Structure 1
Amino acid sequence: MFNWEGVSEFVAVAEAESFTAAAKRLGISTAQVSRQIGALEARLAVKLFYRTTRKVTITDTGQIYYNHCRQVLDGLAEAERAISDLHQTPKGRLNLTAPVTYGENKIAPLVNDFILRYPDLEVNLTLSNQRLDLVAESYDLAIRLGELEDSTMMAKRLASRSHYVCASPNYLAAHGVPHTLSELDQHNCLQGTLDYWRFQEEGKSRHIRVKGNLRCNSGWALVDAALKGAGIIHLPDYYVHVHLDAGRLVPILNQFRAPDDGIWAIYPHNRHLSPNVRLLLDHLGQGLG
């Protein structure tokens, strides 16, 4: 078994750079701290600190030992908090943001179930397609779709989404079915916020620029136009799956479909997640998965 004697005292001295300050922090005598450090150095057969009447400085060997001890103590504290969290009922306020359409269709219903389960918890759900600053605007959690850009945040993949290129049977009967990516240039491609569509051909990602007589930042408006035979659309599955299943829209160019991308939960880079956030993450993962 590992001998823990002296470890807490050693870490306290290393951080306080003083035996007296470390003793005060631990609530014990300076003499006891000194004895524990001396015993630890004897057990390890190394010198951990340089001591003078004015200053305590950690040695190179002591710094290496401190780095490892700090990680171990942090891990123990994290384990104790995790166990403590199991016995806590979520309460207080939780701030969450998600994209509008995905939030309305997928996230909000799950959040509603969550607050029914934990009525003492107050959830503020903001639906916005803008990438809000989680730290500056005090958000605990954000739902992001597709490729992540912000590496300063922690991220958990909750689910995946597929993109489909599709059109109505009437449109395809009138204009023909494209079988290659180059044939899209001959069709009316109804655009969202981007002027290109993402595909995969021979294992490589391709961005194909498209053009058409309608551009709109609403996926539902593009679906309506496609159902009416106006052109071809390229949208995530949650916009079109009902119409694909019913045959009102027909998938095309499936052989070039890009790999599924992620549905992510991101949150500030903290060592310890609150019980509220951890439980909501689990709930969303189960519901979306």
Structure 2
Amino acid sequence: MNNISWRWVRAFLLVAEHGSFTAAAEASGQSKANLSQQVTELEKALGVQLLHRTTRSLRLTSIGEGYLERSQLAFRQLESAADWAMQSTRELKGVIRMNSVGGLIGEELVAPLVFRFQQAHPGVEVELDFSSPRVDLPGSPYDLVVRMGELADSTLVARSLHRVTTRYVASPEFLVRQGPVREPADLRELPLIYGSVDHWLLVRGSEQQLVHAKKGFRIISGRAMRQAALAGLGVTRLADAYVQADIARGDLVEVLPEWSEATQLSLICPPHRYQLQRVRELMDWLKEHFAGVYAQALGEGLPLGRIG
């Protein structure tokens, strides 16, 4: 490594991330010739070809793809080390890149807590993103992720936020019209209100039942799915935060309660980002306050009107 300049590696990252020497030059303010020379020097020092160059296109070699992934991780670790070293005062400051589940949980519960954290720490800027269904955290730019489900990567730092219970619900009018739902097989002939997945796996102890949606409504929004259920359009499956207050009021009826399931909601952080005080403080803040706002959501429900 002694004969490789970090400037060469940075030049390679710029070119690979922008897709061309021209775009990388415009983004960095360097000349195309200078960037090209630095990448060439890097390839000579490594003894491998990182880029396929033609007059019309540029693409990574298979070795280049692997080198890009590892170099991006290395630079993120260097940035973390610099951040850690500069934490010389008790004042929290800097950027936290955060990804969260969306819908009610992310937008109505997590986001307000993040805003309150930023108000308490004006030097911290949280970039909050709800875009991903699931991100590869070690290979992503995120410092912190709120994720549903079990954690597969044991190398990550994880803090439990809450156990979210999924409930199957329908309106009283729908059940009077269609008849009672006593077992999962009864769902197979009913209109279902489902999201991105058109089948439900119901679990009760060691027993499993798979139900495919033959008819109904595909809606990629928990709020809209709830509204459709309130309107009597079918049976839906939603987290308790969406529907618990409706069940308590009698606007929705839970069916198959013995088949409800609990899913872990967690805060997850790469180890090298957990070293940052601002990231740890935000995790502690969310851990301390999330249960309270979740309980409030269960008791009060959503501030949304009923259709029809």
Q: TM-score range by the shorter chain?
A: 0.5 to 0.7
> 1:133 & 1:208 partners in 2: Cα distance?
28
Pick the aligned partner of 2:206 from 198, 204, 207: 204
| Secondary structure class of the residue paired with 1:139 | coil
Aligned to 1:22: none
| Secondary structure class of the residue paired with 2:264 | strand
| Secondary structure class of the residue paired with 1:208 | strand
Pick the aligned partner of 1:264 from 263, 266, 274: 266
Gaps of 5+ in 2: 1-83, 292-308
Pick the aligned partner of 1:97 from 83, 88, 99: 99
TM-score scaled by length of structure 2: 0.61
Deviation at residue 134 of structure 1 after TM alignment:
3.5
Aligned to 1:123: 126
Aligned to 1:185: 188
Paired residues of 1:189 and 1:210 also in contact (CA < 8 A) = no
Paired residues of 1:100 and 1:127 also in contact (CA < 8 A) = yes
Label 1:128 to 1:207 Cα distance change in 2 as closer, same or farther (>3 A): farther
Paired residues of 1:88 and 1:275 also in contact (CA < 8 A) = no
Label 1:186 to 1:130 Cα distance change in 2 as closer, same or farther (>3 A): closer
| Secondary structure class of the residue paired with 1:128 | coil
Paired residues of 1:166 and 1:252 also in contact (CA < 8 A) = yes
Deviation at residue 130 of structure 1 after TM alignment:
3.1
Q: Which amino acid aligns with 1:181?
A: P
Q: Which amino acid aligns with 1:214?
A: F
Paired residues of 2:190 and 2:216 also in contact (CA < 8 A) = no
Pick the aligned partner of 1:194 from 182, 193, 197: 197
Aligned to 1:249: 252
Paired residues of 2:100 and 2:145 also in contact (CA < 8 A) = yes
Label 1:196 to 1:178 Cα distance change in 2 as closer, same or farther (>3 A): same
Paired residues of 1:196 and 1:207 also in contact (CA < 8 A) = no
> 1:154 & 1:207 partners in 2: Cα distance?
34
> 2:273 & 2:243 partners in 1: Cα distance?
39
* 1:57-206 equivalence runs, <5 A: 88-101=90-103, 102-201=105-204, 203-206=205-208
> 2:268 & 2:208 partners in 1: Cα distance?
27
> 1:142 & 1:188 partners in 2: Cα distance?
34
Deviation at residue 199 of structure 1 after TM alignment:
2.7
Q: Which amino acid aligns with 2:276?
A: S
Deviations 1:52-103 (A, max 9, x none): xxxxxxxxxxxxxxxxxxxxxxxxxxxxx9xxx8972211111111122121
Label 1:272 to 1:287 Cα distance change in 2 as closer, same or farther (>3 A): closer
Deviations 1:218-272 (A, max 9, x none): 12221111111110001111221232222211111112222x1111111113385
> 1:207 & 1:263 partners in 2: Cα distance?
24
Label 1:86 to 1:200 Cα distance change in 2 as closer, same or farther (>3 A): farther
Aligned to 1:239: 242
Q: Which amino acid aligns with 1:156?
A: R
Paired residues of 2:157 and 2:274 also in contact (CA < 8 A) = no
Label 1:107 to 1:271 Cα distance change in 2 as closer, same or farther (>3 A): closer
Label 1:204 to 1:93 Cα distance change in 2 as closer, same or farther (>3 A): same
Aligned to 1:287: 289
> 1:130 & 1:231 partners in 2: Cα distance?
25
Question: If you compute each CA radius of gyration, which structure gives the higher value, 1 or 2?
Answer: 1
